[in-house]
Structure 1
Amino acid sequence: MSFDSILFYLLAIVLVVAAFRVITATSPVTGVLHLILAFFTASMMWMLIQAEFLALALVIVYVGAVMVLFLFVVMMLDMRLEGLKSGMKVYLPLGLTIGGIMVAEMAFVVLRAWGDAAPLQLPADDVDNTLVLGTAMYTHFAYAVQIGGLILLVGMIAAIALTMRARTDYKRTHPNRQVRVKAADRVRVVQMAAVVEQPPAAPESEGAEK
């Protein structure tokens, strides 16, 4: 067994353990940290098959930005574990059913393709992974990329719509009213009589009073 094979199995074990701890950790911070470990381990596995662009993108985008943001949000929020565990028993059968279906589908695909899989062919040294990936995405899979972008856009709009509430502690701006505003509606000239302040009278001395 070669060194690459030993390293692959070690990374695979770490990835499976980290993914298992993500869904079984009692603390949200612990779950996020194990998810960061899972992403980092997956990027190292991509590095083994010389997919440098995907490995670096996973580390920079997910581990370096998204997951760190999730970690700060989870640490800043005052999350009550009692509230998170209250509905766990209700949704546990549905979650186990969906998880079992996903595992069965992935196992079916992997087992069907296991026997027909050709040996891994490493790319040549002069092959640009970024160019090959971009060419494949925007030529052969352009329609799928557009659908994925549309799904992400819908998810972003839905998240914004769900977080918007009827709040009264701030003012809402109306651009259509701001465009139609006139100077007379904002500024009013008022004429007032000039007021001249008189200097205060000097107090009389004690000798003058006597």
Structure 2
Amino acid sequence: MDVKTGFFYLFSVVLLLSAFRVVTARNPVHAVLFLMLAFSQASGIWLLLNAEFLAIALVLVYLGAVMVLFLFVVMMLDINVDSMRQGFWKHFPLAAVLGGVVAVEMGAVLLHGFGQTEAIEGAAQAAGVPNSKALGILLYTEYLVPIQVAAAILLVAMVAAIALTLRKRKDSKFVSPSEQVRVRAADRLQVVKVATTQPAPAIQEAAQEAQS
């Protein structure tokens, strides 16, 4: 077994373990961290397949932006884990079916995807251009519509994450900036006129008794 095969098995084992911990971790923050670890191992496997552009894009886009955003959103939402676990077995059959469909689709991609990778490498070598440039030409010519659909889905996910983060919370002390700008001194400050000197109550009562 050569070094490349050893790294492939290492990245694959860590990827499978981290993916398993994503769905079994009880803490949502830990699940997101395991997902980030799974993405890093997937980028390593892509590097072994000479798909350096996809590996770098996975690290920069997902690990550097999307997953960090998800991590902050999960931490800010203050999710009640106990309430989420109550309907686990109720939704387990549907989740199992969807998981099986995803597994079948991934198996089909793995079985037929390496030929496409070899085709891209062959086209890049024949045209005398780098692998990243050949992949970009392929994506923005034959797969332009799926790229646009994926961009729209990511935009919707970003807007939803911002909307969930900026929702009105009861435990948050928030003051509208527009109200702060329109505030007036008369609304916040009230001047009350008081006498300069006032006798103590006990002395005042004693004086009144002496006069009576």
Structure 2 length normalisation: TM-score? 0.64
1:71 is matched with: 71
Q: Percent identity?
A: 46
1:131 aligns with 2:143: no
Aligned equivalents of 2:157, 2:32: Cα separation in 1:
21
Residues 153-162 or 91-100, more deviating: 153-162
Amino acid at match of 2:145: Y
Report how far residue 62 of structure 1 moved: 0.8
- Counterparts in 2 of 1:7 and 1:120: CA distance versus 1, 3 Å: farther
- Counterparts in 2 of 1:11 and 1:166: CA distance versus 1, 3 Å: closer
Amino acid at match of 2:139: M
* From 146, 149, 164, the counterpart of 1:147: 149
Report how far residue 109 of structure 1 moved: 5.8
Aligned equivalents of 2:55, 2:117: Cα separation in 1:
21
* SS of equivalent to 2:11: helix
Segments of 4+ in structure 1 off by > 6 A? 157-167
Aligned equivalents of 1:148, 1:15: Cα separation in 2:
24
* SS of equivalent to 1:140: coil
**CA deviation map 1:105-145 (0-9, x unaligned):** 4445655x49x959958665x64233112110111222332
Report how far residue 24 of structure 1 moved: 0.5
**CA deviation map 1:6-49 (0-9, x unaligned):** 11011101101110100010111110110010000001111112
Question: 1:155-170, aligned counterparts within 5 Å?
Answer: none
Amino acid at match of 1:87: G
Aligned equivalents of 1:119, 1:56: Cα separation in 2:
16
Contact kept in structure 1, 2:15 and 2:38, CA below 8 Å: yes
Aligned equivalents of 2:167, 2:75: Cα separation in 1:
24
1:31 is matched with: 31
Aligned equivalents of 1:30, 1:157: Cα separation in 2:
24
1:8 is matched with: 8
**CA deviation map 1:144-166 (0-9, x unaligned):** 32333344455566777888989
Amino acid at match of 1:147: V
Aligned equivalents of 1:68, 1:162: Cα separation in 2:
15
Residues 1-10 or 135-144, more deviating: 135-144
Count of residues in Structure 1 that have an aligned counterpart in Structure 2: 170
1:44 is matched with: 44
Aligned equivalents of 1:86, 1:24: Cα separation in 2:
15
Aligned equivalents of 1:156, 1:71: Cα separation in 2:
13
- Counterparts in 2 of 1:117 and 1:39: CA distance versus 1, 3 Å: same
Aligned equivalents of 1:159, 1:77: Cα separation in 2:
10
Residue ranges of structure 2 left out of the alignment (5+ in a row): 170-174, 179-212
- Counterparts in 2 of 1:158 and 1:143: CA distance versus 1, 3 Å: same
Higher relative contact order (CA 8 A, sep 6+): 2
- Counterparts in 2 of 1:7 and 1:162: CA distance versus 1, 3 Å: closer
Residues 36-45 or 150-159, more deviating: 150-159
Contact kept in structure 1, 2:19 and 2:35, CA below 8 Å: yes
Report how far residue 73 of structure 1 moved: 2.4
- Counterparts in 2 of 1:58 and 1:139: CA distance versus 1, 3 Å: same
* SS of equivalent to 1:29: helix
